Every structure is written in structure tokens, then in C-alpha cells.
Structure 1
Amino acid sequence: MELPTMIRQLMTFLLTLAVSSGSLLGQDSDADAAAKALENLASAYRSHPGATVRSTLQVSVLQDDLSGNSDTRSADFTFAGSRNAIVKINGFDMRLSGGQVWATHGSNDEAFVQTEDAGSPYYTLLNAFQDMPWIHLALIFGEDDVDDLVMQLHPRAPWLRPTKLQKRMVDGVEHDCIMFTSDHSSLELVVDPASGLLESAKLVISSGQLVEAGAEVSFIYDFQYEFPKKPLEKEFFVLDPGDRKKVDSLAALVREDSPRTSDLVGMVVQPFELPTSDGAVISSADHQGKVMVIDFCAAWCGPCAKLLPELQKLSDWIEAEQLPAVVLPVHTWFKQDDPERQDSIAASFLRDHGLKIPMGLDRDSSLSQQMGVSGIPQTFVVRSDGIVWSVHQGASEDQLKMLKDDVLAAIDVVEADQEQKDMGDF
């Protein structure tokens, strides 16, 4: 995990542009008050004797008269002064202290990673995981300079500027609400007056390259804290590797026989039927004996659109290799009461991106909820016996290769199980 020089250069470039059009601070008293409140908030985390916070995120989408909510996802942060912390995310346990980073993974109790944070634990973690929409990452590990810190609050909204500090009543108690805005987004941080720590947060992105025209995406956060009876000492954050062997990368921590991402692996997918935009029906019963690649997506989602051509290539490859598998894209997070509008959006989505395979319509989001979809695109490789073999979040450059590998592995493992069963019967 090397410090991502390119990311640092990009953030510096963004800051330079912002400064060229006026400093983030010193424009007016309201902006100064908001900036000072953010500075105090970060200081509260970085001087705290110790706490654990579970950060829970739900993404809400609104477009025209359609709306939808994702399932929640979460990350845990245990922190105590001097940027000592334990970050638990996606099955990884990351320990940071004294300029060192240790990592382990829940699938493997025999290996660990140790590296230096190159002076910036924030960028080290951001580089390692790419998608880190966790505000506590900046509050605990971000830069000391408030201008830089504002840009680190959320990776989807680096243009934010402090705007004003408001008072807000929450359950009859007055809270500080720190407001930030940009041309594309707005962010509000609600601070608990008793602890001085973050109580809730909401980011709204209403324009720009991250959302489709006319769409509005909200990141809604809730935070739950636990406070130990005694201060957490530095030794608490240092990993004792014991008999673990040191490996060179986070990828090497995840066992090859442990399919990608998450607690959903091993889940049994229940039978389902979905309508399509052309009046047909997609049924899991029609694909018994086949590996199913089920991709949850939506027309307003930029990464989903990026992935669609790769799904068509995957389908073409399956057909050419005559494999017992099928690709099933599913448009989800619709508003329930507008089926005609849904049909039109899905049909245009398929046509615009050259997808020849049918797309199921998860009109009431029941299938995505049943399968624990936490964000889109989210792609499930399901074995022919209905067990989830792997789950992929997002759209990466090597997604097609990973899906091909998982399809072949999912076919092989069921065939191997059947051979063992046959031998046992014999």
C-alpha cells in the first residue's frame, strides 16, 4: 500500500483551483464559523481518550417521480488521540498507530500486512479501498489544514466549501449543524453537544458527472458510539502477529477459496420471477442447473452503465463456450406505483448501452432487499444449486475477467461436489 501520489496531486490541483477563485476561509463570518466548527470537530476526535463508532450509510435516489433506497452498509472506527485507530471494513481489520499500518482479513488467520503510512493514513486507506465514503476517515486521519480537510470529507464531493453554522433542535436539544455547499452538492454535519462528536450527516449530490441529469443522490449517515471505561493506550492499536506470516498486499490476505465480498457469500437465493420491459418474464426456475450472474443496476447509475457492455461480453463468452450459465441484469430501486415509466426507462437503458440480453425489473425492490444489495452495481455469481459463490461491488477495469473466473469456479465446485457424492453412493 504505497501513498497514492496521483491522488495527492489531484487533491492539490483541486485546492489550487478553489483558492484561485477565492479562499475557502475568510470570505465571510458565516463561512469562518463553519470552518472553525469543523476544525473543532476534527480536534475532538484526534484528542479523544478513546471510543468506537459504527458508521451506518444508506443511499437514497430520487429521479423525476421515481425514488429508491439502498440497504445499509457500515464501517467501524475505534480511535484514540494521535491518530491511533482500528478500522473494520469489508472484512478487513486495519490497525494504525505510530506511522504503521497493520491489516488482517476475516477469511485468513494465518497472514498479515504491515506497511508505513507514508505520512498520511488518510491517503493510505483511500488508496487501499478506493470507495471510502466514510466521513470519519477524514475527521480521524485527515489533514490539519482546514482547507484540505474540507476536501477530504467525502470522496464524491471534493468541491465542498464551509458555508454557515446553524443551530438545530434534535429531540429537544440544541445541536450545531455545520453546512457545506458546492455547485453540485451540499453536506450537513450535526454535532452532539454532549460529546462534541458527529451525531449524523447527510450529503446530497444533485448534478455533475456522478449523477444522471435530473437525479438526486443522498448519502444518509447515522452514528452509534461506545465509550470504554478506561482510555485506550497506544498498544491497543498495534497488531501482535503471533504466528501469522507477513504478505505483501491486501489481496493476498483474502484466501483464494474464500469468494470475493462478503457476508452474502454462501446465502441461498430463493426462487424468483421478474417482469421485463417488453412484457416477458425472467424466472430462476427457467435456469435450473445453470450458474446465474445477477447484476443489480439502475439507469441513473453511472458505474452501472459502464458495466453493462461488460455483461454483454460475458454473456457472449458464455454462449461461445457453451457454458451452463446465464447473465441476468436486474433494474432495481424503482418507485412501486409507476410501472409504465419503469418500462420506458429500462428499455432506453438497454437500447442506449447495446445490451441484447433481457433485463428484469425489480419493481418493488423486493429481490434486491432479499439478496442484501447495499449499493449498485452489485453483481452476484450464484452456483447452479442456488448458493451465492461471490459478490462484486462496483465496476472495476478487470470486472469481466473476475466474473469469468468466478463463473468457471462456480461450475467446477458444483461438479466436484457431485462427483464426490456419486463416489460416496457407489
Structure 2
Amino acid sequence: MPRGLRSLLRKAAPATDPTDIATSSDADSTTASLPVRLWDRAYNDLKREETDLVDIYEKILSRRHQMIQLIYTGLDKTAREATVKGGLGVAVNIVLLARDIISSAIQAVPQAALAWTGICLALEVPATEANRKGIDYVVKRMDWYWSLSGNLLKDLPDHADDLSGARRELENQIVDLYKALLSYQAKSVCSYYRNRGLVFLRDMVKLDDWDADVGAIRDAETRFRDDTQVYNAQQVTSYLEQLVSHVRNQEMQQMSEKDRQCLMHLRLTDPRDDKARIERTKGGLLQDSYRWVLDNPEFQQWRNHPTSRLLWIKGDPGKGKTMLLCGIINELGRDTSADACRRNVAYFFCQATDSRINNTTAVLHGLIYLLVDRQPSLLSHDALSRIFTNILRDPSLRITSLVIDALNEYVTNLPQLLDLITQRSSGFSRIKWIVFSRN
């Protein structure tokens, strides 16, 4: 190793005595950084799942406060041997990584020492080509492994409670990846010392399936990437919803008292409350109850083709039409496209036994109420049916999906409602309808 670089590495070494370094079990989970907590959790999980392997690995390390000295000794030795016999082709990578990673990560966190000790000891393994390639793969990606949790799983904003479940699942995937990494490092080190004839390694389990072990790491990476894409999409949706809510609040603050009174008169019932009540009484909305329709060709045609403006979904009683409708409403409201902030979704649930919500007037009240609540500027129109027609004709109206449930339960003025739907579905390019009814 060049003298200047060796000097740089020595300067990067911690100034404190190795005996002062806390073990992972001493780390305060409430103050430790997220990468620290995840590495610590991965190591503890691995110790429970592969007890024999980790016990032997810790015997090799003797004491955890020796880790950092082992790292620098291993780096120095590997670099010297690499210049003489070609090494494993990774010494240069380790040296380059050392300046950026070891000087920061190891000084701050004992878990970093845990991970890098395995790397540095594994570099000395005179093993098969498969093992050497695996070590090379892990070493070159170690910086990414260390930083990915801190970069991706930052503290969630207050409005993003709905992301907490996705975040927990993503943390689980990261821990699985870290476990696979630590297991590979431990097996490499144990294999090396078994070849040196340590007595307590003679009956060790098989350590030579390197391709499968690296495959486990790659599989964990793939699962993590897949879950990351889902998490990022949910983050985008959450931020868009916050933006829409902020714009709506600003518009509401600018409304006059007369406009507010008008909005309250429109509110015979809030369809959002009806939707929440329906979902609650039916035990909650399950994705399997509606996800299938999103890939249906007729739904895709209605959703994506500008001239397809009316979709009529029929079914027998008790077949899940209303819950299907709730799922479609959620999906339409979750649009993550660039023009999502220029879209509306208004809907209405009819119930034959409730006179407030079983007639055409109630439908108009409900749809207009949601449209005006989302776009207060539309309040400039007057007279109920004329309001509705003028709102649909208003050039400032966003692209809008109108959804009506249980059409068969409308007791009064059903012909007028059907006429309203058929006429308005053909004459307004920004409006799309979904209607649910029994066969």
C-alpha cells in the first residue's frame, strides 16, 4: 500500500482506545441512526436464526473491541499481498472505499465495524473463484448497502401516516438484505479459519455453497428494489394529496360568507361520509375485491380513451358492487399522473329506504357538493339542474369522473336522472361517468 494512503487510513482510525467502543447491544435504539438500528437488528436476527454460525464467528473475532484494529490490519495486509501475487482483485476497491466509508462510518457506529470486519477478513480467504467473486460483489456495493436506509427511509412528514405500513415493510426488506450480507461475510471468515485448522470449526456446517449465498443477497436486493418502487409511488401519491388539500384549503379561505352558506345548503349528505360508513359496516375495503377491474379492458377503455365517457356496471344483489365502487373511487382519487391536480372525482350512494338519498335532486346535490367543495370557484352558478349543467360546461372544470351507485334504488325521478346521465355523458368532453345498478 502506498505510504501516503496508509498514512491517510491511520488518520481515519478512531482516536479512542478500542476498549472504549460500545457493542451493538449497548447502542441506544432511541438515539442511534436508522442505519445503525437496522444493522443491529439484522445481526441480532441472524444470531437467532443461525446461532452456530454467529457463535463461531464471534469466537474468531474474540472481542468486538478488536474489530477496528482487525479492519486496518486486514486492509494493510491485503494491499501488500495483492501487489505481490495479484490478490483477489478487490484490494484497490477496498482502499478507495476506506477513505470515504471507514473514516466516517466506523468512527460513528460499532455496527459498521461489525460489517467491515467481515469484509476485511473475508478478503484474505484463499477460496474458490465463486467465493472470490461473491466477496468482490459485496465489497463494491458496501457503500450502497450502508447508505440506502438513511437516504430512503427518512422521517415521514406528519401527513403521511398512511405510509407507515409501507415503510415498516421496506425496513424488513433492508434487514433481510443485511442479514444475507452478514451471513455471507461470516461464512467466508469461518471457511478461511476452518482451512487453518481451528478445532472448533471441524464440525461446522457446509460453508461452500457460495453461488447460492450470493444468490440470496441478489434476491434480497431484488425484493428490496421492488418494494422501493411501491413505496416511492405511495410517497408521490401522499405528497400530491397534500398539495391538493392545500390548494383546496386556500380556495375555501377565499370564499365569501354567502358562498359558504350556499355550500352548506348543497350538503344534504356528504357522500364521503356515506362511503366511509359503507366500508366500515362491511368490514373494510379489501384490495382483492376491486383490483381485478382495474385491468379489465372495458374499464381501461373508459379510463384512457377520451371519447369513452359512460361505463355501466351491472350485477346481481350481494355480489360486491358497492365495495367495487368504493375501490374504483379510491383508485381514481389516487391518480399519480402529472395532471392529477387537475382532476376531480365526485360520487353518490343511493339507498331506497332513505328519502334523503333516493332521488334525482339528492344526486345533484351530492355531486355538485363534492365538485364545489373541490373547486369553490364553481359556486358562481345558480339553480340546481342549471347549476349542474353550467358546472359541467364551465371551462375551468377539471377532468372529472362522476360515479353513481345503486341506480335501481332511485324511487323518484329515475327517468329524469337517466336522461341527465345520457345527455351529459355525450355532450361534455371533460366528464366521464360510472353507473352501478342491478341486472
Q: Higher relative contact order at CA 8 Å, sep ≥6: structure 1 or structure 2?
A: 1
More strand by share: 1
TM-score (norm 2): 0.21
Q: Which has the higher helix share?
A: 2
Larger radius of gyration: 2
Superposition TM-score, scaled by structure 1 size: 0.22
